[in-house]
């Protein structure tokens, strides 16, 4: 086990003090009071440890000492608190020549690297996936919120869980869910119509009422009402309920504030047994809110088990959601199932809600693209109130281009971290156990190396092929030479298992909103501030002016 730096310093002091006392008692330093030796040994040992850890090891002995370095001593804190998160990583990637790895921070016993090219990303996410894990304190804290489900499990437990969940996310099952997603999108659109009427800005002659809408809350409620039936067979009906405890809990915990960022950083530094004892009101908030969700999930698990044992549910009925599929395997305890439900509830709705919010923002800023997208939707989908098929949505070039660009430019989880759990190799470089490597979708997805000079621009057309007759069709590469140019959902064995589900959900929601409404920013001169502890979204919300466009 790798010792923490503070532990190593203490051990060094003990060794130095013991050695000094032994020399005094052994007559090497006759007449010298052993207490003076103790007083002298401690600062000397501490000084030598500092010199070794901060100068000798990183500059002379570290196998990573020749890697290109980012300037600065507080880069890890900068990456955590900056807006948008990943901005520094993108700057280093653009300005520091490298062969796949950049050393951006050194702490005693801990080196932080940024992965930048295809080979480094391939090694970390595919070739040597299980040589890396999420740091334990990161996992320990997040487990308080989402349990040790698929996202936080590692090694053999992860392989077992992924194998069990995989069938629920094959493409056939995802496409079968389009009807549910479109039905919920229809309810979402009706609620937006009501919101517009209740918050009018002005009435446009012959066009209807333009009203104010705060999109982040509605986006979160939509995706929660989709993941509820899909994950656990429970419709939370948060779109139509004035008060919904489940929706409120997630909004409360994931509200993007500086205090929550600070709370996150404290929990990453301190062990959980200590962090939970800090008299901080957020500890009480997390305990009470997650306690409610755990209790609810336990209740749903018990209801399903009793219904199945009592023959009220057949196997086919049980397999209609992820929870039922996992139950049938018989490999998971009730607590395991609760952890999985918490994971899918949190990850399965907040990420897509963030993507939908960013899509509405970008389309409000790019009115020409919004208009072309509306025309495409209305030309291929007769009505927002009628049925939909998966191929109708998946074949629309502009719709898919818009959704892909949103996922590329604005990944809801802009950065994540891995720690080497054994000696390994990345991009031809030997990596020591304990080295931490940051995977930064925000930076990689905007890298000029992968996307050229237009990497920062919102260009849905990069995801559209045009044949010699001018016919448009969907492409899935965006013109990049490798699929590692976009790592919003990561890749390999640890990629997001729900990536196709999320894309389908986003297609439905964007098609519905743009097909029925025209939207613009309430204040065109104001920007938005992205913030959040793990996922990010607009700190001040997304305030739009929307009007229903007749004829759909």
Distance in angstroms (rounded) separating the CA atoms of residues 418 and 190 = 43
Tell whether pTM > 0.85: yes
Q: Are 390 and 502 in contact (CB under 8 A)?
A: no
pLDDT of 158 above 50: yes
CA distances 445 to 93, 120, 343, 397, 459, Å, are: 11, 15, 25, 20, 13
Q: Is the dihedral angle over the CA atoms 154, 156, 161, 162 positive or is it negative?
A: positive
472-474 and 517-521 as β-strands: parallel, antiparallel, unpaired?
Answer: unpaired
- List, as one string, the DSSP characters of 325-355: HHHHHT---HHHHHHHHHHHHHHHHHHHHHH
The stretch 304-314 carries a mean pLDDT of 75
The pLDDT assigned to 296 comes to 95
Helices first, then strands: H and E counts in the chain: 23, 15
pLDDT bracket for residue 5 (50, 70, 90): very low
Judged against a pLDDT cut of 50, whether residue 7 lies above it is answered with no
* DSSP letter string, 132-197: EE--HHHHHHHHHHH-SSTTT--HHHHHHHHHHHGGGGSHHHHHHTHHHHHHHHHHHHHHHHHHHH
Mean confidence (pLDDT) of the chain? 88
Domain boundaries, the chain: 1-61, 68-133+414-452+474-487, 147-412+488-548
Residue 477 has pLDDT above 50, yes or no: yes
- Pick from 24-28, 131-135, 144-148, 484-488: least confident: 24-28
What is the pLDDT averaged over residues 365-378? 97
Q: What's the token pair of residue 546?
A: 């929307």
pLDDT of residue 44: 72
What is the pLDDT, as a whole number, of residue 81?
85
Nearest 5 degrees, angle CA 543-CA 209-CA 380? 85
Going across the sheet that includes 132-133, the strands are: 101-107, 110-115, 436-439, 416-420, 132-133
Question: What is d(CA 445, CA 447) in angstroms, rounded to the nearest whole number?
Answer: 6
Regarding predicted confidence, which is higher, 13 or 226?
226
Q: For residue 307, is pLDDT > 90?
A: no
Between CA 248 and CA 7 the distance in angstroms is 42
**H or E segment and range at residue 429:** strand 429-431
Residue 55 has pLDDT above 60, yes or no: yes
pLDDT band at 483 (very low <50, low <70, confident <90, very high): very high
H/E stretch holding 106 reads: strand 101-107
Instruction: Report the C-alpha gap between 53 and 236 in whole angstroms.
Output: 53
Determine the average pLDDT of the residues in 350-368: 96
Residue 2: predicted pLDDT: 45
| pLDDT at site 3 | 46
DSSP β-bridge partners for residue 520? 545
Annotated binding site: 496
Binding residues for heme: 496
On whether the CB atoms of residues 293 and 249 are closer than 8 A, the answer is yes
pLDDT tens-digit profile of 231-270? 999 999 999 998 889 988 888 887 778 888 889 889 888 8
pLDDT tens digits, 509-552: 999 999 999 999 999 888 888 888 788 889 899 999 999 999 89
Give the least confident one: 98-112, 181-195, 274-288, 293-307.
98-112
Which residue in the block uniquely carries the two structure tokens 């986006």? 219
**Res 217: pLDDT:** 93
The whole-number average pLDDT for the span 136-148 is 90
Q: What integer pLDDT is reported at residue 268 of this predicted model?
A: 85
pLDDT at res. 14: 61
Per-residue pLDDT at 39: 66
Indicate the pLDDT class of residue 502, thresholds 50, 70 and 90.
very high
The pLDDT of residue 30 is: 59
147-412+488-548 homologous superfamily = Cytochrome P450 (1.10.630.10)
Q: So what CATH class is 68-133+414-452+474-487?
A: alpha beta
pLDDT higher than threshold 50 for residue 4? no
**Whole-number Cα distances in Å, 75 to 91, 260, 551:** 12, 19, 53
> Strand 200-204 vs strand 132-133: parallel, antiparallel, or unpaired?
unpaired
> What is the pLDDT at residue 309?
75
- Closest Cα partner for 117 from 447, 424, 404, 432? 447
Tell me the pLDDT tens digit for each residue of 404-462. 999 999 999 999 999 999 999 999 999 989 899 999 999 999 999 999 999 999 999 99
């Amino acid at each position: 086990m790798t010792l923490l730096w503070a532990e190593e310093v203490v051990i060094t002091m003990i060794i130095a003090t013991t050695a000094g006392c032994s020399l005094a008692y052994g007559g090497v330093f006759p007449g010298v009071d052993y207490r003076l030796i103790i007083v002298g040994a401690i600062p000397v040992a501490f000084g030598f440890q500092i010199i070794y850890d901060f100068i000798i090891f990183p500059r002379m002995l570290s196998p990573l000492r020749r890697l290109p370095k980012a300037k600065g001593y507080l880069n890890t804190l900068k990456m955590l608190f900056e807006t948008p998160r990943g901005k520094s990583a993108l700057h280093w990637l653009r300005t520091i020549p490298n062969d796949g790895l950049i050393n951006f921070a050194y702490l005693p016993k801990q080196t932080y690297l940024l992965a930048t090219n295809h080979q480094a990303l391939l090694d970390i996410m595919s070739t040597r996936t299980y040589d890396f894990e999420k740091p334990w304190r990161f996992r320990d804290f997040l487990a308080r919120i989402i349990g040790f489900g698929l996202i936080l499990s590692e090694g053999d437990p992860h392989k077992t869980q992924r194998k069990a969940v995989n069938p629920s996310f094959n493409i056939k099952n995802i496409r079968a869910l389009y009807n549910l997603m479109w039905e919920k999108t229809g309810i979402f659109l009706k609620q937006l119509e009501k919101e517009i009427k209740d918050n009018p800005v002005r009435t446009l002659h012959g066009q209807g009422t333009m009203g104010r809408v705060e999109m982040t809350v509605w986006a979160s409620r939509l995706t929660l009402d989709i993941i509820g039936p899909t994950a656990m067979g429970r419709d939370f009906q948060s779109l139509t309920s004035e008060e919904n405890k489940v929706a409120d809990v997630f909004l409360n915990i994931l509200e993007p504030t500086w205090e929550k960022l600070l709370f996150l950083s404290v929990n990453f530094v301190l062990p959980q047994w200590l962090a939970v004892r800090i008299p901080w009101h957020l500890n009480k908030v997390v305990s009470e809110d997650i306690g409610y969700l755990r209790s609810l999930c336990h209740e749903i698990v018990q209801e399903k088990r009793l219904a199945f044992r009592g023959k009220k549910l057949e196997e086919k009925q049980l397999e209609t959601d992820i929870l039922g599929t996992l139950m049938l395997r018989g490999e998971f305890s009730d607590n395991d199932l609760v952890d999985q439900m918490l994971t899918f509830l949190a990850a399965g709705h907040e990420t897509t809600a963030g993507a939908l919010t960013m899509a509405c923002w970008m389309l409000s800023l790019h009115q020409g693209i919004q208009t072309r997208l509306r025309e495409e939707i209305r030309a291929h989908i007769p009505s927002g109130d009628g049925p939909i098929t998966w191929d109708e949505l998946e074949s629309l070039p502009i719709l898919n281009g818009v959704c892909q660009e949103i996922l590329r430019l604005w990944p809801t989880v802009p950065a994540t971290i891995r720690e080497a759990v054994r000696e390994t190799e990345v991009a031809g470089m030997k990596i020591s156990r304990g080295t931490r490597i940051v995977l930064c979708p925000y930076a990689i997805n905007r890298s000029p190396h992968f996307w050229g000079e237009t990497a920062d621009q919102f260009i849905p057309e990069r995801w559209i092929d045009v044949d010699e007759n001018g016919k448009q069709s969907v492409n899935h590469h965006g013109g990049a030479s490798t699929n590692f140019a976009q790592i919003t959902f990561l890749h390999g064995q640890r990629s997001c298992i729900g990536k196709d589900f999320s894309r389908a959900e986003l297609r439905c929601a964007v098609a519905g909103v743009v097909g029925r409404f025209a939207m613009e920013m309430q204040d065109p001169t104001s920007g938005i501030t992205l913030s959040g502890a793990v996922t990010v979204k607009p700190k001040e919300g997304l305030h739009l002016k929307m009007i229903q466009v007749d004829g759909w």
